Structure 1
Amino acid sequence: MITGTCHCGAVRYEFRHSPSRTTSCNCSICRRLGTLWIYAPIADVTIDGPTRGYAHGDKNLAIHHCPTCGCVTHWENLHPEKPDAYMAVNLRLADPNVIASVPVRRFDGAETWTFLD
């Protein structure tokens, strides 16, 4: 299990999945946020604490942050009824040793929508 917390500690996550990689995306929002995403089925993730969501474009997901310190915590699938619905948490909120142990894949979310490696 991987746990993470925002800077002020108001929001915590538990990620009950073993990620094979983390994704660094260059889309218009991820490149600004500097997130590293790890993904799991919705049932394998618990978010505790207050968050605020932001949905843009096609509104398939909402990116959440702590309303106190502003740290981006996760993105939520806005269509959780789909059988393959996933969500992601920001691995940068985990312990630095955990972050270093998960390989990073670069994803071109800006143009080609493919991995760059």
Structure 2
Amino acid sequence: MLIFKIFRTEEWTALRKDGVTDGAPIDVADGYVHFSTAAQAEETAAKHFSGQDGLYLLAVDAGALGDELKWEVSRGDALFPHLYRKLHLKDVVWAQPLPLANGVHQFPAGLAEAEA
């Protein structure tokens, strides 16, 4: 199962340069890297990145993260994936720009199938 992380350009650039990151400022503050499932990613973008351009969507294989990935209750009592270690560039299966069109982030077609 793929899980997803939204990064600003500078966060994605830093991960590619350094090979490892503690995540975005919210991740550092909370002590874990926040992820979303495919079904949760669009709402996450709307809630936390509304109107922001220059974003990247990163896909990570949840199964490859081991015991340091915890599924915890969060927004709307839904289970969200939280990574309790640094995110490594080698964890990223793919990354692509998350463009903004008419104020709405344009997610890849078929993203929901990524949960299968």
- TM-score w.r.t. the length of structure 2 is 0.27
Higher relative contact order, structure no. (Cα contacts within 8 Å, ≥ 6 residues apart):
2
Higher helix proportion (structure 1 or 2)? 2
- TM-score w.r.t. the length of structure 1 is 0.27
